[in-house]
Chains A and B, each alone.
Chain A
Amino acid sequence: LPQSPKVLGLEARALTPQTAETDAIRFLVGTQSLKYDNQIHIIDFDDENNIINKNVLLHQAGEIWHISASPADKGVLATCYNRTSDSKVLTCAAVWRMPKELESGSHESPDDSSSTAQTLELLCHLDNTAHGNMACVVWEPMGDGKKIISLADNHILLWDLQESSSQAVLASSASLEGKGQLRFTSGRWSPHHNCTQVATASDTTLRGWDTRNMSQIYCIENAHGQLVRDLDFNPNKQYYLASCGDDCKVKFWDTRNVTEPVKTLEEHSHWVWNVRYNHSHDQLVLTGSSDSRVILSNMVSISSEPFGHLVDDDDISDQEDHRSEEKSKEPLQDNVIATYEEHEDSVYAVDWSSADPWLFASLSYDGRLVINRVPRALKYHILL
């Protein structure tokens, strides 16, 4: 039950939950192949029957390096893809719409649908001719799906999607200046502060930006010993964010104190490519690494519930009162909950389901997608 491997058949690095979907467990995976038409696989996981269903959409524009789904519209997604022309490679970004019937997943047999693979409808390009390669596209969280930010080389670009997303207008931008070849590797949009903050990673530095005037808020120099690969905001604590990188470490930061990390994890034995907070229970942190492992950690001491789940006094009996008191007295210990070793190649993407907070997917380079659940015992421990 806990693991459900799914093999895509092509190399893949891009994975996202269908953010706007809150009922069904659905992930979008983009493939990365130079030889064949690339695809977006819509993976549906039937929780009750433990069955995976897959629909394939063609993405003929090029190999997909990054994918993100609109938080407002189930059918809208953005990809960063490579376009090769005249012995030149350029990474572009575009916003797409999937066919209506696939938005909520179709439960046809995969064999039938595969032969008649459908195509994505292009909504608009994010024109980057002046800015360079697109590293990632992030949507404004909890917004109306009209604002996105893309990172292109050393530029951070804020776009307004207009006329039902068929047009992307560059609203504002900022760029990193400095010695050497500065390039953004990844970015996240903070759900706090009225969605006015974005954090980016470039080389070993983390930076925070204010989207209203595109100015830098904070800067964590040398956040990692080597390249920072990814970062994520704590959904419940507004100043907390996690980052990971090539020094095999995962670090947790309070952005008000940029000199020292709050906590450092060193569980992986190679570069950590992805770090994700659980959307509801921020003590659960998921990391994926090129040592082919996915690690689920319980960072309860720096979470928003450091003493476990606090139960309201009103609706508990005396017995429970006693127990909860006991629980609240001793701060819980941080620990690794589980190490998942189903992958055999580097894991470049992990993410939580947007519908079920206890479920997550991980994707390795060989195209294997694994869906796992938080161990039941821990789930009840957190809930009760």
Chain B
Amino acid sequence: MAAAATAGSSPGSGPGDSPEGPEAEAPERRRKAHGMLKLYYGLSEGEGAGRPSGPDPLDPTDLNGAHFDPEVYLDKLRRECPLAQLMDSETDMVRQIRALDSDMQTLVYENYNKFISATDTIRKMKNDFRKMEDEMDRLATNMAVITDFSARISATLQDRHERITKLAGVHALLRKLQFLFELPSRLTKCVELGAYGQAVRYQGRAQAVLQQYQHLPSFRAIQDDCQVITARLAQQLRQRFREGGSGAPEQAECVELLLALGEPAEELCEEFLVHARGRLEEELRSLEAELGPSPPAPDVLEFTDHGGSGFVGGLCHVAAAYQELFAAQGPAGAEKLAAFAQELGSRYFALVERRLAQEQGGGDNSLLVRALDRFHRRLRAPGALLAAAGLADAATEIVERVARERLGHHLQGLQAAFLGCLTDVRQALAAPRVAGKEGPGLAELLANVASSILSHIKASLAAVHLFTAKEVSFSNKPYFRGEFCSQGVREGLIVGFVRSMCQTAQSFCDSPGEKGGATPPALLLLLSRLCLDYETATISYILTLTDEQFLVQDQSPVTPVSTLCAEARETARRLLTHYVKVQGLVISQMLRKSVETRDWLSTLEPRNVRAVMKRVVEDTTAIDVQVGLLYEEGVRKAQSSDSSKRTFSVYSSSRQQGRYAPSYTPSAPMDTNLLSNIQKLFSERIDVFSPVEFNKVSVLTGIIKISLKTLLECVRLRTFGRFGLQQVQVDCHFLQLYLWRFVADEELVHLLLDEVVASAALRCPDPVPMEPSVVEVICERG
């Protein structure tokens, strides 16, 4: 039994399986239906997958299978099952069959009753329908009768209806007539009450009719009355309009009513503008009063606010009302308005410009930019209304002009700052030195100047950058996007400043005070280094900074960094060259005086190096220190030997021997001079005031060259006694001892000093040179 139950029911039925067959069958059937549905909807049997092998549908031993074969089944049972089980199966089978039979019976009983009641119901419905058909027939006949009656009544009432319609028309006409007859009194009342709008509406309604029927005397009278009243009305309106105090909206209403009364629009619009002008001029006057010199002018932001809300707001109202009222006027009216706005606008602009001009000196850009922003923003509204008046363009122009002036102002500020720095440096240089110690170091001063200028530049950039800030209404104008950034800021401000800086610096080179040196040499040196630093780093830094801050979209050509750098370098070079000249001149003057003022013929035997030579060496050392503070050492030619040991001897070179060879004959000196010339061929020509390089050695070389060349030329203009020559010898040896270390090529010093001694010997009628050893002793002692 258990086996049969297992076979008969699906294993999925699980624990709820009751041993009772029909009870167990119901869920099974339901499941089958489910299975079909699921199959239909393409769903696999979820939990059904648990069914291990499923009964083979083709299994002929399956009692519920389609291919059940009783013979096979029985065969199988008989073969497989013992007797007891067969018995059990049989009883079980019988029991199941019985249960099925009783089920079938109950079903048949139940359904039989239902069939019977259904048949009864159908029979009853047949009866009812037959009755209803009869009723419907009767209804149709009744309806036909009603239709007939209705037609008859309509025909009877036709005539009356027409008469009633006519009467209603007459009634309406009469009411209109009554309105007309009452019109004068109504108008009067309205006028008295001040309900001008109502009056104008009445008048408007009656106007056409009265016009049409004016040939009838009665209507004519009414019309005349109305006209009188209307005229009075118009007059009152005008009166109100002229009094004007009641403000723009009411005026606009007056004008509207007057227009509705058919007053000439031309005249009205003139009058309207005259009134508007009065009000706006009032605003302008109050603005002008704020400008006035006596009361402390409110700040520029407040001013533009007043202007914006008072004047520009008023103008907006006027323009809006005008366009609404006189739209019918067409282009002529618009032109009139444009001219009006233009004239008043230009006066307003003049006031604003006067106020802005007062602001030019001020340092606060942010306030100015905000003021300009408000000014510009305010004017965009009327600008849209009054495109023809070009107010927005004019406003933009003003803003641009102010921006340009601002740039100029900043450039001036930078220049002034630079000059201020220079003055500071001058003062620092001129300040009395603290005993023992040098004053403020040149390098420190240079750093101060450089950082101060840089911070000024950055401050200026930041200040003008406000003009291009996103939230500012005019920053997207083409001028501010393009020209302002490239031509204004980059070229005008930054490049302009660097150029003017170079120019200012160069002007120190051209100063007429060449003799006294109005410019302290240290300043020249400092400026030269400053320009050189600009060339190497600062210029490109500033320009990069500028380009980053002001994203230059303009394609107009700008000065390339290299050009500016070249200018700065040229300035630095000129300044340094001038420094060399000035310092060389100082030493030259000392040497020249010392040569010119001495009586070289009757001088005593030299015992000492002359003080002036010591002074020259001291000064040169001081210059060396000074230049060393700012410039690098530079390249020196390799030293040949112990140069300081070299002693001057008048007859040392073959050249001089040639010179002094006693010969009159033109032929003999030819040869000796040939020798000297050949020697000269091998020594390079010395360019005395040649341009210098940017290093200490080159600068010192330049100064020493200038000094020694001066010494040479001065010596050649004098006549020396024997001791005079010896003194020159001593002096030159002393210079040789101390000067070689400063120059790039010590040969140069040798050469020049050789020339000096040789020239002194030439200028001496009795040239007896001093023993080199004695010269050395004197120099070492000195």
Binding site for B on A (CB under 8 A): 7-11, 34-37, 54, 56, 82, 84, 87-89, 110-111, 114-115, 117, 204, 222, 225-226, 247-248, 269-271, 290-292, 341, 344-346, 365-367
Contact = CB atoms under 8 A, between A and B. Distances in A.
Contacts of A37: 664
A11 B659 CA distance: 9
Given A34-B762, A269-B690, A226 B515 contact: yes
A10 B732 CA distance: 25
B147 interface: no
B713 to A, nearest CB: 6
B660 A226 contact: no
Interface centre among A226, A248, A341 (most CB of B within 10 A): A226
Contacts of B512: 222, 225
Interface residues of B, number: 35
B709 interface: yes
Contacts of A247: 514
A344 B663 contact: no
Nearest to B597: A181
B519 interface: no
Interface centre among A87, A111, A247, A341 (most CB of B within 10 A): A87
Contact of B669 (A10, A117, A226): A10
A270 B709 contact: yes
A7 B687 contact: no
Given A84-B601, A291-B687, A89 B719 contact: yes
Contacts of B688: 269-270, 291
Interface string B647-687: 00000000000001011111111100100110011000101
10 contacts: A9-B666, A11-B762, A89-B601, A110-B666, A111-B667, A225-B514, A225-B515, A269-B687, A345-B680, A367-B673
A34 B713 contact: no
Nearest to A41: B666
Nearest to A289: B688
Contacts of B721: 87
B585 interface: yes
Contact of A9 (B602, B669, B762): B669
A84 B599 CA distance: 13
Contacts of B685: 292, 341, 344
B538 to A, nearest CB: 30
Contact of B514 (A7, A87, A226, A269): A226
Given A291-B687, A292-B685, A346 B514 contact: no
B689 interface: yes
Given A9-B663, A89-B601, A34 B719 contact: yes
Interface in B505-532: 512, 514-515
Interface of B: 512, 514-515, 585, 601-602, 660, 662-670, 673, 676-677, 680-681, 685, 687-690, 709, 713, 716, 719, 721, 762-765
Contacts of A345: 680
Interface centre among B663, B668, B687, B688 (most CB of A within 10 A): B688
A259 to B, nearest CB: 11
Contacts of B687: 269, 291
Contact of B515 (A82, A87, A204, A367): A204
Nearest to B687: A269
Contact of A36 (B662, B713, B716): B662
A226 B667 contact: no
B666 A54 contact: yes
Contact of B666 (A56, A248, A290): A56
Contact of B677 (A269, A341, A344, A365): A344
Interface centre among A110, A248, A344, A367 (most CB of B within 10 A): A344
B673 A9 contact: yes
A117 B665 CA distance: 10
B660 A35 contact: yes
A341 B762 CA distance: 24
B670 A7 contact: yes
B673 A366 contact: yes
Contacts of B713: 271, 290, 346
Contacts of B764: 34
List the 5 closest A-B pairs by CB distance, nearest first.
A9-B669, A225-B514, A87-B601, A34-B765, A87-B602
B585 to A, nearest CB: 7
B600 to A, nearest CB: 9
Nearest to A13: B716
B601 A114 contact: no
A333 to B, nearest CB: 22
Nearest to A117: B664
B502 to A, nearest CB: 20
A204 B516 CA distance: 13
B662 A269 contact: no
Contacts of A344: 677, 680-681, 685
A230 B228 CA distance: 109
A84 B676 CA distance: 28
Given A36-B664, A54-B666, A270-B688, 11 more contacts: A9-B666, A34-B719, A34-B763, A35-B660, A35-B662, A35-B765, A87-B602, A87-B721, A366-B673, A366-B677, A367-B673
A225 B667 CA distance: 43
A247 B709 CA distance: 13
B509 to A, nearest CB: 12
A4 to B, nearest CB: 15
Given A114-B665, A225-B515, A269-B689, A7 B673 contact: yes
A289 to B, nearest CB: 10
Contacts of A115: 665
Nearest to A7: B673
A89 B512 CA distance: 36
Interface centre among A9, A82, A269, A291 (most CB of B within 10 A): A9
B127 to A, nearest CB: 136
Contacts of B667: 111
A222 B689 CA distance: 21
A35 B666 CA distance: 16
A61 B660 CA distance: 20
Contacts of B670: 7, 9
Nearest to A65: B717
Contacts of B681: 344
Interface centre among B662, B687, B716 (most CB of A within 10 A): B716
Nearest to A183: B596
A110 B667 CA distance: 10
Nearest to B663: A9
B618 to A, nearest CB: 23
Interface centre among B681, B762, B764 (most CB of A within 10 A): B762
Nearest to A225: B514
Nearest to B767: A35
A88 B721 CA distance: 10
B716 A365 contact: yes
B563 to A, nearest CB: 25
B752 to A, nearest CB: 12
A221 to B, nearest CB: 11
A8 B663 CA distance: 12
A372 B764 CA distance: 33
A344 B689 CA distance: 17
Contacts of A56: 666
B112 to A, nearest CB: 139
Nearest to B589: A226
Contacts of B765: 34-35, 84
Nearest to A82: B719
Contacts of B662: 35-36
A139 B290 CA distance: 80
A290 B721 CA distance: 25
Contacts of A9: 663, 666, 668-670, 673
B714 to A, nearest CB: 11
B385 to A, nearest CB: 58
A345 B709 CA distance: 12
A120 B295 CA distance: 95
Contacts of A222: 512, 515
A270 B689 contact: yes
Nearest to B755: A345
